[in-house]
Amino acid sequence: MLNHDLVFLKRFSMLLVFLGALALGLILFAHYLNGKVVYDKDPGTHQNLLDRIAPVGAVYAGATGAAAQAAAAAAAAAAQTANVPFDGRTDGAEIFNNGPCTGCHTAGVGGAPKLDAAGIGARVAQQGVEELIKKATEGFTGSAGVMPARGGNPALTDDQMKAVVEWMASQSK
Ligand code: HEC
């Protein structure tokens, strides 16, 4: 090996040792700095993080899981009733008077049977309340005119339709 090769190797290895030491120093310095960082303790931030990483289809297991599942189901049910008219209440009078039904059935618009013995009362006698609930829910066209499904408000629930038709029947004696 020539002399100047040896000189080069010596200098080059010194350079490598120096760079290695420098890298190690920077690593230790970064580690030290990282220890000084104060992380955000805001509970809102923490909750946001949990929300972001929450599984889309949550899996529930064990007793805690059952409780969490019940809570999730209750929250879902609450969210659903929020979109239902009258907040999901099944007060027949309230639904009739504030819903679509009164528009036709109070004055008998378009052949709609009124809330009297000759109107809804006669139909209860002929068909029975259950049948009226079914037809009012599904909608139908009869000889008198068109009864739109759920009075034209598809958001009314089955329970609400049952309640309002039963109330109409009770008012038509
Ligand atoms: C656009 C007008 C209109 C609205 C709104 C309306 N109805 Fe009717 N409804 C009718 C007509 C017309 C008939 C009679 C159809 C026939 O027999 O030819 C009828 C019939 C009925 C009957 C008797 C069904 C049968 O089998 O004889 C019931 C019960 C009833 N409606 C309930 C309701 C309820 C409850 C609502 C509100 C959620 C409602 N209607 C809203 C027009 C309407």
Q: Which residue has the tokens 């049977």?
A: 113
pLDDT band at 131 (very low <50, low <70, confident <90, very high): very high
User: pLDDT averaged over the chain?
Assistant: 89
pLDDT at 10: 93
Residue 36 has pLDDT above 90, yes or no: no
Three-state SS at 81: helix
Q: How far is the CA of 168 from the centre of ligand 1 (A)?
A: 11
> What residue's CA is closest to ligand 1, atom 24?
132
- Whether 104 contacts 112, CB under 8 Å: yes
For ligand 1, pick from 89, 91, 97, 105 the residue to mutate: most ligand atoms within 8 Å of CB.
105
The pLDDT score that the predictor gives to residue 11 is: 94
Mean of the pLDDT values across residues 158-173? 95
Structure tokens at 162: 């049952």
172 to 118, 133, 169: CA distances (angstroms): 8, 15, 5
DSSP lists the bridge partners of residue 147 as 140
The CA distance from 136 to 101, in Å, is: 10
Confidence of residue 81 (pLDDT cuts 50, 70, 90): low
Pairing state between β 146-147 and 140-141: antiparallel
Look at residue 40 and tell me whether its pLDDT is greater than 90. Answer: no
The answer, yes or no, to whether residue 63 has pLDDT greater than 80, is no
Give the pLDDT of residue 82. 66
Say yes or no to pLDDT of 171 above 90.
yes
Atom of ligand 1 nearest to the CA of 135: 26
Are the beta carbons of 165 and 120 closer than 8 angstroms?
Answer: no
Phi then psi for residue 172, to 5 deg, are -115, 40
Q: Is 151 in the pocket of ligand 1 (CB under 6 A)?
A: yes
Query: Does the pLDDT value for residue 65 go beyond 70?
Result: yes
| CB 132 near ligand 1, within 6 Å | yes
Beta strands in the chain (DSSP E): 140-141, 146-147
Q: Ligand 1 within 6 A of 148 CB?
A: yes
User: Per-residue pLDDT for 107 more than 70?
Assistant: yes
> Ligand 1 within 6 A of 85 CB?
no
Atom of ligand 1 nearest to the CA of 100: 5
* Residue 162 near ligand 1, beta carbon < 6 Å: no
- Ligand 1 touching residue 110 (CB < 6 A): yes
Region 92-104: mean pLDDT is: 94
